Amino acid sequence: MSKYNNEEVLKWKRLYERFGNLNEASKKYYKEFKINVPPNTIKRKLKEFIGSNFNTWYNKYKIMGKYSWDDAKSWKELYEKLHSYKAVEDHLKEDGNIHGPHWGTISNYVNNYITKVLEVNYDVWLKQHERSRRERHKIYSEADYHYWKKLYQELGSLKDVRDQLRISAKENPPDAFTIRKGLQKILKEEYENWLLENAKYSFPVETVIYWKTLFEEYGTLKRLSERTSHDAKAIKKSLKKLLGKNYDLWYERNSKHHERKWVIEDAILWKQIFEEVGNFNEVKNEIKHIYKEKSPSASQIRKVVKRFIFESGENYDTWIREFTLSDIVVTIGKMIHKILEFLFMENYKDKGILSFYEISPNKSYRVDNSIILTQEFLNLTKIRIPSNIRAINFDYTITSRLSTIYRKFRKGYHDNSMMLIIITLFTTIKTFMIPLDIDYKYNIKIINISEFLKNFNYKPKIREVVKTIIALANKAIYSPSSFEELRTLSNNFYRKLIIKYGVRAEQQKDFENFF
């Protein structure tokens, strides 16, 4: 008889639906009932309890970061009252949590909660609850401006003026930018001196240090002012006091007035690519075809990803240590891939087999080599292939780190009709476990390069070339002469690859025609 009954499992189900995280469900269960149940046990019992719909249910409530679905629900309700994500952010900070979620994080969680949990059309909901055009562009009078001026002379900061307006009006007050513009209209050229004369701000050092961190991420005092509801000049004066003579150099280094505002979806994509390639320069190279003339620099990518990780509740330093690869290892990986892709194409060209390189099975990520299954290929391979498989995708990797390899399972390289074979080039992975929430996991295999050459009928001459290249790549990590030799070979093989088999776009078109 099972140690846990359905009543217990049902409690775990409700906890997961609240917090979207098995670890959190386990902690909350222990806190309430003083019974320690490991997350894996919870997941296994839930899978038995829910049955074939488990994956759909699990992914529906899954959430990343430090906030829960309960948080998202409360933020949704606040938005329905306040009609602005910025107002929700400000409301949360009034409770004393100055490091609370940014309005962009709030909107992302609410969007996911409404779409995934409530299964409601987000755009329809937003239209119902956002401010009307009239409310968003409320017209203030000169009398309002003079009242704001009086309040500022009493209180000494734009934030305090805004807070006072909220208390007295019991509705959404104008933001700091609107108040500033109103004061500028009535004070005109006297505004700057008047503001400094009447300012009464004095902020804790930890608050100013936090502003410094935010400026290094956002790059403008205007955005920092909007984020904190404090006057830009007050922020600037505090930062100058904190940094002293180093302020000008620091400001110039971190200022980015004309930088594009990258969205959360950009940050998520760049983070995923970094976890694959281990280097921000390589992320830049991977995505430059997406953004073209607006393509971000490696430095911009790093800052946006860092901010995203910080706001998601993860530890950036831990993350960067886990996934960073040295420049030389990244470069060697790129060079060796070009060679192996060409040799793969060469190995099958005379055998009536449809082979490809660098195609995208899912219109997003590119896999290294692919084959459309034919009887000719089935006669050559020693790997058992299910009858429903129509194509095999091959992905080479220089890392043996399972956390990185596991991410390949979620790239759309395999499904009910496609198999994914991951080939480790430098090491052998003897034991691994494919996560339970991966669909069609039996269509994934991880093998080393020797097993690959043996089981996929490589010609003896090509097999020897592959072995030589792998040995050279290992030496290239510490030998400059081997590194240059590998670079020359890689460039030569890549030219041959393009000339003989065409560019990636042609490969993609051919694959789609046959698949």
Residue in 401, 375, 370 with CA at minimum distance from that of residue 387: 375
The 10s digit of each residue's pLDDT in 326-356 is 778 888 888 999 999 999 999 988 777 889 9
Q: Which residue has the tokens 């269509």?
A: 443
Helix (H, G, I), strand (E, B) or coil at 258: coil
Please, what is the end-to-end C-alpha distance for the chain in angstroms?
49
- 432-437: long-range pairs with CB below 8 Å, 24+: 432/402, 432/405, 434/406, 434/409, 435/406, 435/409, 436/43, 436/44, 436/47, 437/55, 437/58, 437/59
What is the pTM (predicted TM-score) of this model?
0.48
Helices (H) and strands (E) in the chain, counts: 28, 5
The 10s digit of each residue's pLDDT in 281-312 is 888 887 776 776 667 888 888 888 888 887 77
Q: What's the full length of the chain, in residues?
A: 515
Q: Which residue has the tokens 């292939």?
A: 385
Residue in 366, 368, 360 with CA at minimum distance from that of residue 333: 368
Axis crossing angle, helix 205-218 with helix 298-311, rounded to the nearest 10: 130
Q: What pLDDT tens digit does each residue of the chain (515 aa) get?
A: 456 788 888 888 888 877 777 877 888 887 777 788 888 888 888 888 888 888 878 877 776 566 777 888 888 888 887 777 777 877 776 655 556 677 777 877 888 788 777 877 877 788 777 764 444 446 778 888 888 888 888 877 777 787 787 777 655 677 666 787 788 888 887 877 787 677 766 677 777 787 888 788 777 787 777 667 677 777 888 888 777 778 888 887 777 655 556 777 788 888 888 877 778 888 888 777 677 666 788 888 888 888 888 777 778 878 887 777 777 888 888 899 999 999 999 998 877 788 999 998 876 678 999 999 888 788 878 888 888 899 999 999 988 777 778 878 888 899 889 999 999 998 888 777 887 778 888 899 999 999 999 888 899 999 999 999 999 998 888 888 888 999 999 999 999 999 888 888 888 888 888 87
pLDDT for res 193:
75
Q: Distance between CA 98 and CA 5 in Å, rounded?
A: 43
pLDDT for res 378:
83
List the chain domain ranges.
Answer: 6-61, 69-136, 264-324, 328-514
Q: Which residue has the tokens 């790059």?
A: 219
Q: Distance between CA 194 and CA 190 in Å, rounded?
A: 6
* Secondary element (H or E) of residue 369: strand 367-372
The 10s digit of each residue's pLDDT in 231-263 is 777 788 888 877 777 888 888 777 765 555 677
